[in-house]
Structure formats: C-alpha cells, structure tokens
Structure 1
Amino acid sequence: MADGFTWAYGMVLAASLLPIVSAGIAKKIGARDSGGFDNSDPRAWLEQQRGAAARANAAQQNGFEVLPFFIGAVLIAHQLQANQTWIDLLAIAFVLLRVVYVWCYVVDKATLRSLVWTAAFGVNVAILLLAAF
C-alpha cells in the first residue's frame, strides 16, 4: 500500500462497497424472479421483492448501518496510534465476516448470520479498543 494508506483504510473502502454489491445481488435475483427491474423507481421495486432478493436488499441496508461504527473505529485506532498490524488484521477480519454475513443473509442461514454479525461487531469493538490496551 502507498505510504500512509494502510490495509485498514483499504478495508474501509471494501466495507463501503459491500452494500453496493448486496444491492446488485438483490436486483439481479429480483429481476430474474420477477421478470425485470424497474430502474425508474428502484426503491419501491426492491420493497416488493421476496425471498433471496429481499434478503440481499436487507443485507445492503445493514451494510450501510454498520459502516459509521467501522469507519469511526478504524479512524480512532489510527488517531490513537494503536498497533497498526492489529488494526489491519482486525479490519480485514471485519470485512471477511461481513462478506460471510451477506452470503448467510442471501441463502437464508439466519442463525449463522446472527452469529457472524455478532462476531463482526466484536471485531469492531476490538478495533476501537486497541489503543486502550
């Protein structure tokens, strides 16, 4: 990575792209199942979807919901000069867990999805608290 641009910052970008990927999955599945996609009113169209398309859309929404905490945790850990290796490793773990979370949501593995969400939340807390220890 370029000097000053850490792996953790790269994971902020990756985490920011995951909701967009989830939306794409929702639209692709929904268009396949319902015979097309309404780009003139995509939010209303997505709200009408069921099954995997609806779950992918929910994963998109949750992806946007978790971003502020993740971005804040990474920035605070950097600002307080926590161990960079740990920030990077935990940020990578967070993104990998979020990828698994999206998969769990789309394929309807509800219990595993909740466990993965909890693990990702714990990783986020760990990033935030790195500089405290």
Structure 2
Amino acid sequence: GEGDEKFFVDGEKFPSTFGTGSEDYIGYAWSAEPPFPTFDSAFACQPHVAFDGNGHTSVNRFHICDNVPFTTSFEGVLEKYKGNRWGGENYCLYDTISYWYQKAGQEDPYNYVPLGERVGYYSIP
C-alpha cells in the first residue's frame, strides 16, 4: 500500500481500521495531479501545496462524524511507502496534531512546549 491509514484501538495487534491510502483518507485523490489545487471542506482540507506538488504540503482530516471510540489506547498510523527518502533530495516527512476534550477542572497531562521548540521542526536534517 501507499499511505494506508491504520487505527489500532485498545491494544489491537491488527488494526480495526485499515484504509486504502492517504489521498482517500484525506479526500484529495481528485487533486493529486497538476495543477494541485487547495481545497477545504467541513472535515478535510488541503490548505497549502507547492506549485509543482513537490514540497511542503499541508492536509487535515478531522474525525467529527466518524470518531473512533476507544477505552484504554489509540494509535493512528499513516503508512510511508518509501520511507523518508523519495529519490534524490526529495524527502517525505509527516507530522501530526491531536485535539481532545477534557473535563472541566482537570489538569492538562502534557507539559507546555515553548513556541521556539514548536516551529521549524520540519526542516530537512
């Protein structure tokens, strides 16, 4: 596969969700050819893509209507078919962000990370 999304719920050894690829998961299979348009919809978007399709691209997928319930653990994976290198100087790096609901009055379990440590991290090593 290439870019298959896989969701492991509550310690599963094999994912209960095993998708067909990131372009289908995010909903941009129709925009994966030139002229590489940006798009937005209620639950997915591609707000930025390099003009030639080879560069920094941003995509988002929100699980609002199709949440993935779990009790003890959740692991979401996007397969990287060719690893970090795509030939020559082309790199493929992923990053993720998660949002969650927390009951009022509870303490945030994560330590604060200063802004300086959160920007510029996707530069090629």
Q: Which has the higher helix share?
A: 1
Q: Is TM > 0.5 for Structure 1 vs Structure 2? A: no
The TM-score normalised by the length of structure 2 is: 0.26
Q: Going by fraction, where is strand more abundant, 1 or 2?
A: 2
